[in-house]
Amino acid sequence: LLSGSPVEQILTRQFGALEFEAAAVLEFPAGLPGFEDQTRFVLVEQPATAPVVFLQSLLSPELCFLAAPMVAVDPGYDLAVTPEDLRLIELDDQRQPRPGDEVVCLALLSAAEDGPLTANLLAPVVVNVRTRRAIQAVRVDSRYSHVHPLATRGASCS
Partner 1 sequence: VLVIRRRAGESLLIGDDVEVVILETGSSQVKLGIRAPKEITVLRKEIHLTRQQNRVASSEVSAAAMNRLLDTLR
Binding site for partner 1 (CB under 8 A): 13, 32-35, 49, 51-52, 63-66, 68, 72-73, 108-113, 115, 117-118, 120, 122-123, 136, 138-140, 142, 146-147, 150-153
Cβ at position 152, least distance to partner 1 in Å: 5
**Smaller CB distance to partner 1: residue 118 or 128?**
118
**Smaller CB distance to partner 1: residue 21 or 44?**
44
Cβ at position 24, least distance to partner 1 in Å: 21
**Smaller CB distance to partner 1: residue 52 or 79?**
52
Helix/strand/coil (H/E/C) assignment for every residue in the chain: CCCCCCEEEEEECCCEEEEEEHHHCEECCCCECCECCCCEEEEEECHHHCCCEEEEECCCCCCEEEEEEHHHHCCCCCCCCCHHHHHHCCCCCCCCCCECCCEEEEEEEECCCCCCCEEEEEEEEEEECCCCEEEECCCCCCCCCCCEECCCCCCCCC
**Smaller CB distance to partner 1: residue 23 or 140?**
140
Cβ at position 19, least distance to partner 1 in Å: 22
